[in-house]
């Protein structure tokens, strides 16, 4: 909207546009970002509180998950939206540590405010923060420990740390076991983990402890015909991405019927073709069929007669996972189906779960996709369990991929504060001030953990600092007893990436906000109307014009 032509500034702004410059713009941005941080900070840690979010349709979400809170909040200010992006990036990269990232970003900006007051230039602050962030990553790598992909005990600690204080905690040890076993099952040969290969089916009406891991898949479908077997042992599974019917258009185009005889022979012909489809499937040796498209009534009948269990209109994503779980190949042409296209499973069975029938594909050998059937009393409970489970799956996956873990409970942040202050003095100059501010900002994490647990934050910080000064790098906060303890012994363990990512994304966004000294917001009245349902699907970013009324 603004430009420079031969030294002549050109500015074309819509009438009603708002422009804020210099200190004013900076202050407003920082305030907006801090507001977002303070909205989520009370949820941090095992004793953090939950938020109840009500959207414009009156739908309620109760959660403790930073990324979810920010996603559901109707945030407008551009700088505040950048904070939402921090949470989103963190969530995409590691799936945990979102609140930490946002709290850190808010604290970095708060410290920057003090430096701006002292007339330290924002560029200098940003460069000091950048240096500190890089150094922080080196320090964290130095205090991280190795973990092996088969270290179940350690992986369980990681899963437990990520769901402590979340609604998902009610899932207890069972949920943690499920999560660890599920991820362990789907590790790729190259050591990478894609948790997309774990499908989570949510069903209300039972306790979280009744959740189960299926060594294969559970599909939210029922068999298409009541005469089909409910249970097939030694299942040979055909995965078909084609309609098991005669293409209607083809028929319409070619057939012109003029006599009853013709009609009969046409119907006979149609029946023969449909029967042939089933014969081909049967000839391949299949006794179970998952079809991504529809299945004609007659085909259903013949499949039932042939003793084949079939389900139709399976989701594409489920078909892909079925393929990974059973080793079968998805075929698009029934004529081509052969024995070696078929997947296998020890047993395929339709069972009633809650009010619905579901098909279990179990006892797969070495499945590369698995399912978790997640149970909970109510929708709200299962949804929060699902969010917690998702975080747990992610952190287990990240730990297996990176093979590096670090103690939590505020211990890495206290260690960083200590070591970065030492580092600052070696840098000197004005950047030293920024690095020191960065070091102070790190302590926002243990301080907030203490505050949220109703502990005296000053006492706790003092005790933590002194433990770290005397060399115990993994001393953190036992939030239940208000004591400083070794976090390795307490079993509070996180993947290294959760920490490094939260610090780097917090730094990046704080720096981005710091470098802005001009906010040009186009007129709000020119904005397109909100879509019906509004914020629900907003995802925080996009859609809304930048408004300036956050504060």
Ligand X SMILES: Nc1ncnc2c1ncn2[C@@H]1O[C@H](COP(=O)(O)OP(=O)(O)O)[C@@H](O)[C@H]1O
Q: Which is nearer to ligand X, 217 or 479 (CB)?
A: 479
Asked if 402 contacts 92 with a C-beta cutoff of 8 angstroms, the reply is no
Q: Which is nearer to Mg ion, 349 or 384 (CB)?
A: 384
Q: Which does 43 bind (CB under 5 to 8 A by kind): Mg ion, ligand X, none?
A: ligand X
Instruction: Locate the DSSP E strands across 332-378.
Output: 343-353, 356-362, 370-376
CA distances from residue 13 to 8, 140, 521, 542, 547 in whole angstroms, order as listed = 16, 47, 9, 20, 15
Q: Is 359 exposed, middle or buried (0-12, 13-18, 19+ CB in 10 A)?
A: buried
Smallest distance from the beta carbon of 162 to Mg ion, in angstroms? 5
Asked if 81 contacts 75 with a C-beta cutoff of 8 angstroms, the reply is yes
Instruction: Locate the DSSP E strands across 294-342.
Output: 309-311, 330-331
Shortest-Cβ-distance residue relative to Mg ion: 96
Instruction: Locate the DSSP E strands across 44-175.
Output: 51-54, 60-63, 145-146
Asked if 334 contacts 280 with a C-beta cutoff of 8 angstroms, the reply is yes
Active site residue ranges: 65, 98-99, 391
Q: Is 174 exposed, middle or buried (0-12, 13-18, 19+ CB in 10 A)?
A: middle
Asked if 211 contacts 175 with a C-beta cutoff of 8 angstroms, the reply is yes
The token pair that represents 436 in the structure block:
């020191």
Q: Which is nearer to ligand X, 99 or 474 (CB)?
A: 99
Smallest distance from the beta carbon of 436 to Mg ion, in angstroms? 28
Closest CA to 364 of 476, 288, 440, 472: 288
For 209: left if phi > 0, alpha if psi spans -120 to 50, otherwise beta; the answer is alpha
Q: Which is nearer to Mg ion, 61 or 159 (CB)?
A: 159
Residues within window 55-74 making contact with ligand X, judged by CB under 6 A: 66
The binder of ligand X chosen from 243, 477, 503, 506 (CB under 6 A) = 477
115 forms part of the interface with ligand X (CB under 6 A): no
Number of residues in contact with Mg ion under rule CB under 5 A: 1
Q: Which is nearer to Mg ion, 161 or 215 (CB)?
A: 161
388 forms part of the interface with ligand X (CB under 6 A): no
Shortest-Cβ-distance residue relative to ligand X: 408
The binder of Mg ion chosen from 85, 96, 220, 222 (CB under 5 A) = 96
164 forms part of the interface with ligand X (CB under 6 A): yes
Select from 335-343, 379-387, 406-414, 456-464 the region that touches ligand X (CB under 6 A).
406-414
Measured CA to CA, the distance from residue 223 to residue 268 in angstroms comes to: 26
Smallest distance from the beta carbon of 396 to Mg ion, in angstroms? 13
Measured CA to CA, the distance from residue 541 to residue 529 in angstroms comes to: 16
97 forms part of the interface with ligand X (CB under 6 A): yes
Smallest distance from the beta carbon of 166 to Mg ion, in angstroms? 7
Q: Which is nearer to ligand X, 97 or 367 (CB)?
A: 97
Select from 90-98, 122-130, 187-195, 291-299 the region that touches Mg ion (CB under 5 A).
90-98
Select from 91-99, 112-120, 306-314, 341-349 the region that touches Mg ion (CB under 5 A).
91-99
Helix (H, G, I), strand (E, B) or coil at 109: helix
Closest CA to 80 of 423, 541, 415: 541
408 forms part of the interface with ligand X (CB under 6 A): yes
328 forms part of the interface with ligand X (CB under 6 A): no
Q: Which is nearer to Mg ion, 40 or 228 (CB)?
A: 40
Helix (H, G, I), strand (E, B) or coil at 65: coil
96 forms part of the interface with ligand X (CB under 6 A): yes
Binding residues for Mg ion, rule: CB under 5 A, are 96
Binding residues for ligand X, rule: CB under 6 A, are 43-46, 48, 66, 96-100, 161, 164-165, 408-410, 445, 449, 477, 479, 492, 494
């Amino acid at each position: 909207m603004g430009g420079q032509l031969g030294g002549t500034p050109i500015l074309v702004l819509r009438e009603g546009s708002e422009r804020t410059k210099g200190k004013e713009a900076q202050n407003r941005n920082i305030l907006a970002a801090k507001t977002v941080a303070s909205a989520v900070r009370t949820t941090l840690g095992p004793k953090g509180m939950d938020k109840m979010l009500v959207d414009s349709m009156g739908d309620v979400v109760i959660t403790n998950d930073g990324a979810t809170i920010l996603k559901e909040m109707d945030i407008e200010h551009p700088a505040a939206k950048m904070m939402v992006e921090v949470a989103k990036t963190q969530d995409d990269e590691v799936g945990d540590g979102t609140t930490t990232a946002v709290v850190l970003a808010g604290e970095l900006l708060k410290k920057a405010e003090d430096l701006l007051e002292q007339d330290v230039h924002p560029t200098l602050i940003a460069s000091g923060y950048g240096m500190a962030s890089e150094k922080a990553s080196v320090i964290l790598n130095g205090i991280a420990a190795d973990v092996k992909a088969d270290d179940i005990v350690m992986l369980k600690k990681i899963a437990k740390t990520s769901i402590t204080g979340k609604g998902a905690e009610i899932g207890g040890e069972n949920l943690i076991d499920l999560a660890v076993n599920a991820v362990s099952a789907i590790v790729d040969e190259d050591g990478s983990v894609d948790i997309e290969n774990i499908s989570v089916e949510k069903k209300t009406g039972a306790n979280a402890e009744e959740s189960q891991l299926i060594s294969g898949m559970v599909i939210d479908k029922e068999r298409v015909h009541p005469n089909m077997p409910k249970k097939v042992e030694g299942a040979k599974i055909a995965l078909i991405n084609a309609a098991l019917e005669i293409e209607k258009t083809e028929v319409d185009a070619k057939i012109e019927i003029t006599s009853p005889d013709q009609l009969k022979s046409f119907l006979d012909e149609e029946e023969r073709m449909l029967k042939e489809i089933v014969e081909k499937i049967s000839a391949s040796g299949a006794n179970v069929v998952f079809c991504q498209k529809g299945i004609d009534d007659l085909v259903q009948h013949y499949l039932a007669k042939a003793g084949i269990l079939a389900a139709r209109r399976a989701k594409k994503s489920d078909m892909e996972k079925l393929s990974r779980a059973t080793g079968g190949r998805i075929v698009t042409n029934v004529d081509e189906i052969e024995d070696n296209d078929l997947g296998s499973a020890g047993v395929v069975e339709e069972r009633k779960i809650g009010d619905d029938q579901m098909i279990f594909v179990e006892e797969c050998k070495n499945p590369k996709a698995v399912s978790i059937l997640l149970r909970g009393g109510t929708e709200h409970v299962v949804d929060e369990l699902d969010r917690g489970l998702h975080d747990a799956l992610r952190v287990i996956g990240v730990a297996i991929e990176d093979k590096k873990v670090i103690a939590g409970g505020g211990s890495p942040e206290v260690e960083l504060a200590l070591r970065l202050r030492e580092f600052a003095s070696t840098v000197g100059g004005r950047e030293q001030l920024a690095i020191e501010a960065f070091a102070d900002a790190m302590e926002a994490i243990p301080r907030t953990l203490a505050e949220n647990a109703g502990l005296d934050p000053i006492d706790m910080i003092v005790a933590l600092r002194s433990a770290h000064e005397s060399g115990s790098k993994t001393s953190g906060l036992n939030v239940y007893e208000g004591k400083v303890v070794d976090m390795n012994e307490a079993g509070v363990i996180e993947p290294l990436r959760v920490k490094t990512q939260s610090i780097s994304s917090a730094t990046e966004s704080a720096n981005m906000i710091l470098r802005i000294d001009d906010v040009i917001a186009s007129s709000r009245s020119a904005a397109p109307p909100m879509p019906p349902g509004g914020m629900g699907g907003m995802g925080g970013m996009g859609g809304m014009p930048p408004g300036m009324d956050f504060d």
